[in-house]
Chains A and B, each alone.
Chain A
Amino acid sequence: MYVAGIDIGSTSGEALILEGERIAGWSIVDTGYSSRRAAEQALELALQRSGVARDQLRRIVATGYGRVSVDFADQQVTEISCYARGAHFLYPQVQTVIDIGGQDSKVVAVGSGGKPLDFAMNDKCAAGTGRFLEVIARVLQLELAEMGDWALRAKRAAEISSTCTVFAESEVVTLVADGVTREEIVAGICRSIARRVAAMAARVGVEPPVMFAGGVARNRGVVHALEEALGHPLIVPEEPQIVGALGAALIARDGMDGSDKLFGPQG
C-alpha cells in the first residue's frame, strides 16, 4: 500500500513514495514557473524510481508554499507540520528542526509524535535563505554547490553588516574591490545567514537535538556557521531536502483510515 508526499518549495519540488515505514523512492525537481507542473514531474519521477504505478497510490498529501496548486492531492498540510513529522520519523529524539529553503527559512519546536509546539518563519525578506547564497554566488562567480567548501577554507570570516540581500550584494562588491578573499566573503555570508536564523530560532527556543533540513543544509559552510551560532551540533539527514515530503507522506499514510490526525500517537 503506497502513499505519496509532495513538497513544492519556491526553488525545488520533492516527492516521496512511502510503503508503510519504508521509503520506496523519492525525487527532486526544479519548481520552475508552475508549482502544479513541478508536482506532477516530481511525482512521476518518484514513482518511476520506486517502481510503483500511479494507480497504486492510495493517498497523496501536498505541502510547501506551492501546496495549494497541487489540486490532485487528497490533502494539503503546511510545511511546518510536515517538517516536524518527517524529522521526528527520521530521528525520534529531535526537538528542534531548522529548515532553510530557497526563499524562506523556518524553525519548528517538535513535540511528541512529531507535533509542532511552536514555530517561526522569516518575514518578507530573503536574508537568511538560500536565495541570499544564490545572489552572492553569482556576484562571486562561484557554483552554489561549492560555496560550502570555499567557506570552510577561510582563515577568517569577512564582516557582512547588511541584513538586506540587495544591500549585502553591494557590500560584497565593495569587499571584492577592497581585496578581501572570496573564501572570507563566503564565510562571512554563511555566518550572516547563520546569525539571522539563530536569532529566529531563539524566538522559538532551541532545544537539542537539532536537525538542519532543506537545501541549504547541504552547504557545509552554513552548517558550520549555524552550529557556532546556536552552540549545538546539528543533525543533517542524508537527504535534507526530502524531510518535508517525507512528513507529508507519513500524514498521507495515517490519513488512510479517514482520520484527519496529523501527528503520531502522542502528538
Chain B
Amino acid sequence: MDDPRDIRIRLLRGLLRSPLGLRLVRALLAGRPQKPHHHVSADFFLEMARGAYASRACPVVWSNIFVPSELFWGLGIVPFFPETWAGLAASMGLSALGVSQAAAVGYPIDLCTVHRSAAGLWASQLFPRIDAGVATSHACDLAGQMLGNFAYAQGKPFFLLDVPQDDDDASVDYLTVQLERLIAHWREVLGIDFDPDRLREAIRLSNQARALALEVATLREAEPAPLRGSGMRDQLAMLTAMFGHPSGVRYYQSLRDYTAQRIANGQPEQTHQRVRLYWMHLMPYFESDLLFILEDELGGVIAWEEISTLWWEELDEREPLRSLARKIASLFFNGPIQRRTEMALRLIQRYHCQGAIHFSHWGCRQSAGALYVLRARLRREGVPLLILDGDCIDPSNLPLGPLRTRLEAFMEMLV
C-alpha cells in the first residue's frame, strides 16, 4: 500500500507521529494570518492528533461523526473520526491518494468518497492506532460498516449503537441502555475509569458551546450576511467533535465575536450579495471554483447551511446518558424525511432564503435518496431547489462546466 515515491506521505506520517512535528505544525499555523476561530479549531484538531498519533496517555476510539463527542471527552478517550480526517485530507489536497488507495484495497467506485478516501488513508498508514471502534447505525449506514471493517481488520472490538428512528421516550430509553452498555464495554476493553463528574463537566461545556453556537446562528440572520457560507464548510466537524471539550466553548465564543464584529463594522465577508440561499448537505472540502462562482461571480449568498444546524436540545447534566441518547436520536438525518424537510423550510424562512441548493455528494444515498420528497415539499412552498451532483472529496469528480451552467441558470431564475 505504501508508495515510497510520495515524499508527502512519508513526511505527513512522520509529522503526525512525532510530538515535535505536531508542535512545529502548530507553530507554523499560529503564525499564519487567519480568522481567530480558525486558530482555535486548528489547535483543537492538532491536540486531537497529538492524543491519537503521538501519545499513549489515553485510549483511541475510532468513531463515526454522530457518536456524541461529549461521551469521549467525558470518559477520557481520544476520538478519531475517519470521516472528518478524510475531509481534512481533501482540504490538504490528499484526496486523490485516499481514493486511489481505496480502489487498490478493493472498495468499489460507487461508494461514498468520504469513506473510500478514509479507507485509502488508512491503507496508506496515515491513521493512528486504534483501541476500539464505535458507530451509530443512523444517518449513514456505510459509516457503521466502515468503522466495523477498520476495527475488525486491526483485531479491535467494535460497538454499534442501534438508533431507533424516533426521538420519543421509548426510543431514548432504548438508546440510553445501549450507552450504558457501551460504557461498560469500554471499561472492560479499554480499562478506563468511569467518573460521572467528568462526564457532567463535559455536558456543562457542551451546553456552554451550544448557547454560543445558537448566538452565532441568530447573528447570521443579519442582512447582508456577515459570513461567507463557503467558509462554514467545516462546521460539521466542529459540531461533531468539539462539544464537551473546552475548545468548543472557545471556538464558538470566538466565532460569535467575529460575526458580531463583522456586523457592527458593516463589513460582510462577501461584498457582492444578490440572492440568499440555503445550502443542503456537504460542500467541497477542497479548494474549488464552484463556490467562488456562486458567491463572487454570481452573488449567491449561502445564508445558512444545513450542516451548521445545531439539532439537539440543551443537555441535562443530571441525566447525561439520557440526554446524549436524545441528542443522537433527534438528528435531522434520522427518521422520516419530514424531519429534514420541515427543518429546511423553517431555516429557509428564518434566513430569508429565496432558493435552496442540494449538493449531492457522490455515493451518498442517505441524503440524495430523499430528493424527490424534498423537491416536492419545497416546491409546494414556492422555494426553488437546485440539485448539484458533485463530490466533496474528489476534485476530479466535480465537473465545473456543467455545474457552472446549473448555478448560472438557477441564479437567472431567482434574480
Q: A168 an interface residue at 8 Å Cβ cutoff?
A: no
CB nearest neighbor in A for B372: A203
Q: Which of these binds chain A: B24-32, B99-107, B164-172, B401-409?
A: B401-409
Contact A115 B413 (CB under 8 A): yes
Query: Which A73-116 residues have C-beta < 8 A from chain B?
Result: 77-81, 104, 115-116
The minimal Cβ–Cβ distance linking B360 to chain A, given in whole angstroms, is: 9
Contact A116 B409 (CB under 8 A): yes
Chain A residues whose C-beta falls within 8 Å of the C-beta of B389 in the assembled complex: 123-124
CA distance in complex: A124, B406 (Å): 13
Q: A121-B405, A124-B399 are in contact. Are A77 and B412 (CB under 8 A)?
A: yes
Q: Establish whether residues B408 and A78, one from each chain, have CB atoms under 8 Å apart when the complex forms.
A: yes
**Chain A residues near B375 (CB-CB < 8 A):** 203
A150 within 8 A of B: no
For the complex, give the distance between the alpha carbons of A216 and B319 in Å. Answer: 66
Residue of B nearest to A203 (CB): B375
Number of interface residues, chain A, beta carbon within 8 A: 18
Which residues from 119 to 161 on chain B have a C-beta closer than 8 Å to any C-beta of chain A?
none
Tell me what chain B mostly uses at the interface: helix, strand, loop, or mixed: helix
Whether the pair A118, B384 counts as a contact (CB closer than 8 A) is: yes
CB-CB < 8 A to B412: which residues of A?
77-78, 80-81, 116, 262
B377-415 CB mask vs A (1 if < 8 Å, else 0) is: 001000010000100000000010110011011001101
B402 touching A79, Cβ below 8 Å: no
Residue of A nearest to B379 (CB): A118
A117 touches B413 (CB 8 A): yes
CA distance A143 to B316 in the complex (A): 74
Q: How far is the CA of A45 from the CA of B405 in the complex (A)?
A: 27
Given the complex, which residues of B lie within 8 Å of A116, measured CB to CB?
409, 412-413
Q: In the complex the two chains form, what is the Cα distance from A77 to B409 in whole Å?
A: 8
Q: Given A123-B389, A124-B389, A65–B401 Cβ distance below 8 Å? A: yes
Which residue on chain B has the smallest CB distance to residue A80? Answer: B409
Interface residues of B in 78-113 (CB under 8 A from A): none
What distance in Å separates the Cβ of A122 from its nearest Cβ neighbour in chain B? 9
Chain B 38-83 interface residues, beta-carbon cutoff 8 Å to A: none
B338-353 with Cβ < 8 A to chain A: none
> Does A119 interact with chain B (Cβ within 8 Å)?
yes
Q: Is the CB of B399 within 8 A of A119?
A: no
In the assembled complex, which residues on chain B have CB atoms less than 8 Å from the CB atom of A78?
405, 408-409, 412
Alpha-carbon gap, A124 to B396, bound state (A):
12
B-contact bits for A50-80, CB 8 A (1 contact / 0 none):
0000000000000001000000000001111
The 29 listed contacts between A and B (C-beta, < 8 Å) are A65-B401, A65-B405, A77-B408, A78-B405, A78-B408, A78-B409, A79-B405, A79-B409, A80-B405, A80-B409, A81-B413, A115-B413, A116-B409, A116-B412, A116-B413, A117-B384, A117-B413, A118-B379, A118-B384, A119-B409, A119-B413, A121-B405, A121-B406, A123-B389, A123-B402, A124-B389, A124-B399, A203-B375, A262-B412
